[in-house]
Amino acid sequence: MLRFAFVRSAALVLSLTVLGVSGAAAQSTTFEPRVGQAGKDVVWVPTPDPLVETMLDIAGVTADDVVMDLGSGDGKTVIAAARRGARAIGVEFNPDMVRLSRERAREAGVTARTTFIEGDLFEADLSQATVITMFLLPDINLKLRPKILELKPGTRIVSNSFTMGDWEEDRSERVTENCTSWCTALLWIVPARVDGEWVLDGQPLVFEQTFQMISGRLGNTPIQGRLNGAEITFTAGDRTFTGTVDGSSIRGAITGGSGGSFVATRASS
């Protein structure tokens, strides 16, 4: 009996020792992201907290939005958007980052409004987003650009610091307080596609479009203007046309000249 008791006691000590080692190992391997750690396409550098808020501000994020953060890292932008009442989605390749993001969302009390997808940002379905945020390199932005330009007009794209090549931003804002690096937010609004031939009041209306900028002619009169999502404004002589693009029609109002309203329809191909 004594020998049996000794064996049981020894086994108990061994078990507790193993559990202690396992617990210490689990504690020591708790994931902590490191600035500069390698990722699939970029190294990880966190967006400064003041810039996160500025990015969401210039995009006008509200509870009506679906915000998608591409390369969501530790989840801070997703969580910040969810705190504003938006439905927020993060796409992140690193599974440790995804687990960390979910835990931080739980701690912030926004689990119900957040989703973190472990996957490749180039394969993500962007169609549900009304706002896309990102802190990626210029070449990755350019690779994503064709897919972004296919999104619904009015979708807002916000980047930390890096541009979209020759697609000029619609707005930029630099944070000067409590931010020392990576402090510029750039906003683009996906424009409607209007390039080609239209008819307005019996006259040919031709748009040449470079992203949100438009030129062309109305009859023989040169025009210049720009798009803000589905909203369009252009001038022809002393008249300014302001309207909304809806598929194959543009409806709006004219200021200058004799004023009034207008309807333009896309010419049959």
Per-residue model confidence as pLDDT tens digits over 210-236: 999 999 999 999 999 999 999 999 999
Q: Are 187 and 164 in contact (CB under 8 A)?
A: no
Q: Which residue has the tokens 């630099």?
A: 174
Please say whether the structural domain 49-189 has been given the CATH code 3.40.50.150.
Answer: yes
At residue 245 the predicted structure's pLDDT band, cuts being 50, 70 and 90, is very high
For residues 175 and 168, give the distance between their C-alpha atoms in angstroms, rounded to a whole number.
Answer: 20
Instruction: Pick 5 or 118 by higher pLDDT.
Output: 118
User: What tokens does 263 get?
Assistant: 């309807």
What pLDDT score does 9 carry?
Answer: 39
According to CATH, where is 2.40.128.30 located in the chain?
196-266
What pLDDT score does 46 carry?
Answer: 87
Residue 210 backbone class (left: φ over 0; alpha: ψ -120 to 50; beta: rest): beta
Of all residues in the chain, the percent with pLDDT exceeding 70 is: 84
Amino acid at 229: G
215 CB contacts (<8 Å, ≥6 apart)? Answer: 207, 208, 222, 223, 224, 225
109 CB contacts (<8 Å, ≥6 apart)? Answer: none
| Residue range 70-83, pLDDT digits in tens | 999 999 999 999 99
For residues 241 and 47, give the distance between their C-alpha atoms in angstroms, rounded to a whole number.
Answer: 40
Angle between helix 49-58 and helix 76-83 axes, rounded to 10 deg: 50
Strands 156-160 and 171-174: unpaired
Whether residue 192 is predicted with pLDDT greater than 80 in this model: the reply is yes
Query: What pTM, to 2 d.p., does this model score?
Result: 0.85
**Lowest mean per-residue pLDDT among 44-48, 106-110, 122-126, 226-230:** 44-48
What's the rounded mean pLDDT across residues 242-258?
A: 97
According to CATH, where is 3.40.50.150 located in the chain?
49-189
Beta bridge partners of 227: 232
What pLDDT score does 32 carry?
Answer: 79
Instruction: Pick 200 or 16 by higher pLDDT.
Output: 200
| Residue range 15-62, pLDDT digits in tens | 434 444 444 334 334 777 665 555 556 676 889 999 999 999 999 999
User: What is the b/e burial string over 36-71, where b = at least 16 CB atoms within 10 angstroms of the residue's CB?
Assistant: eeeeeeeebebbbeebbbbbbebbebeeebbbbbbb
> Measured at the alpha carbon of residue 139, what is the angle toward residues 80 and 142, in degrees to the nearest 5?
80
> Could you say which of 2.60.40.10, 3.90.550.10, 2.40.128.30, 3.40.50.1470 is the CATH number of the domain covering 196-266?
2.40.128.30
Q: Are 234 and 225 in contact (CB under 8 A)?
A: yes
Q: Are 169 and 188 in contact (CB under 8 A)?
A: yes
For residues 80 and 7, give the distance between their C-alpha atoms in angstroms, rounded to a whole number.
Answer: 56
